[in-house]
Amino acid sequence: MITYKCLLLDHDDTIVDSTRTVHFPAFLKTLSTLRPTKTDLTFDVFIEMCHELGFEKICDEVYHFDSDEMKIEYDIWKQYTKATIPSPFEGIKEILQTYKHQGGKIVVVSHSESSEIRRDYITHFGFEPDLVFGWELGSALRKPNPYPLLQTLEKLHLNPEDCLVLDDMKLGLEMAQCMNVDFACAAWSHTNEKIRSQMIKSSTYYLETVLDLKKLIFK
């Protein structure tokens, strides 16, 4: 039996191991193209900036990309995301397929684009999510804005207590808190100590392993 009727899942570094294999290499390529004197960025610093600022603010406030440069950044990113299908974390496939089989609704709320998210789900899990809210929503409606959660409640006829948000970073946490929805931190993808200390304090559940997720969502 499932403990929540709906899982609202982040994608990158929650379901698939994609920042190391896709997004970080793509951003290093962007820096080598647009900011060649600033290519000493480490993965750990990148992850921390994503957590604190979100990717859009990294581009705007840290590297000050103009609109033309953002088009270049986007084209590079799409080249990488189209070329590589990231692998799911071990155990995720069994969990999501079982959850779906038992009647649970799966919604993805991500800063990746819907096309790649749906591709990854079909490739790895054999089904598409019930709803997907991706990067193409635009900055005004992306998490941490509660729009994806509000739409999920309306379209799937759910109440806040029916849902669990699963994310590895605070943008998902902030979205969940806006609607008083339970939040679980997916802590299995990276070990940044600053992120860890913040998320342990703030999350409804702090999940060290994929097995912890299994124990949480199944009775």
CB 12 within 8 A of CB 112: yes
Per-residue pLDDT of 88-147, as tens digits, reads 999 999 999 999 999 999 999 999 999 999 999 999 999 999 999 999 999 999 999 999
Residue 79 placed within a domain: yes
For residues 142 and 191, the model is more confident at 142
What distance in Å separates the CA atoms of residue 58 and residue 198, rounded to the nearest whole number? 20
Q: Which of 83, 106, 137 is the last residue of a domain?
A: 83
pLDDT at 190 over 90: no
Distance CA 32, CA 6 (A): 41
| 60 lies in the same domain as 149 | no
24 shares a domain with 13: no
Report the chain's mean pLDDT, rounded to a whole number: 96
Per-residue pLDDT, 64: 97
Q: What is the DSSP letter of 133?
A: E
According to the model, what pLDDT value does residue 124 have?
98
Q: Residue 94 and residue 59: Cα distance in Å, rounded?
A: 36
Q: How many domains does the chain have?
A: 2
Q: Does a structural domain hold residue 1? A: no
For residue 182, what are its two tokens? Answer: 């339970």
Please give the pLDDT value at position 218: 98
Q: Do 180 and 112 share a structural domain?
A: yes
Range of the domain at 47: 19-83
148 shares its domain with 212: yes
Domain match, 133 and 196 both:
yes
Are 50 and 156 part of one and the same domain?
no
> What is the distance between the alpha carbons of residues 107 and 148, in angstroms, rounded to a whole number?
9
pLDDT in tens, 18-58: 999 999 999 999 999 999 999 999 999 999 999 999 999 99
CB 41, CB 28: distance < 8 Å: yes
Band (pLDDT 50/70/90 cuts) for residue 214 is very high
- Cα angle, residue 138 at apex, residues 200 and 7 outer, rounded to 5°: 45
- pLDDT score at 207: 98
- In this structure, the answer to whether residues 119 and 79 fall within a common structural domain is no
> Do 146 and 68 share a structural domain?
no
Mean pLDDT calculated for residue range 162-178 = 96
Rounded average pLDDT over 2-30: 97
Q: What is the mean pLDDT of residues 155-179?
A: 97
pLDDT recorded at residue 191:
84
- Which residue, 40, 57, 83, sits at the end of a domain? 83
* pLDDT at 84 (0 to 100): 96
The CA distance from 201 to 77, in Å, is 33
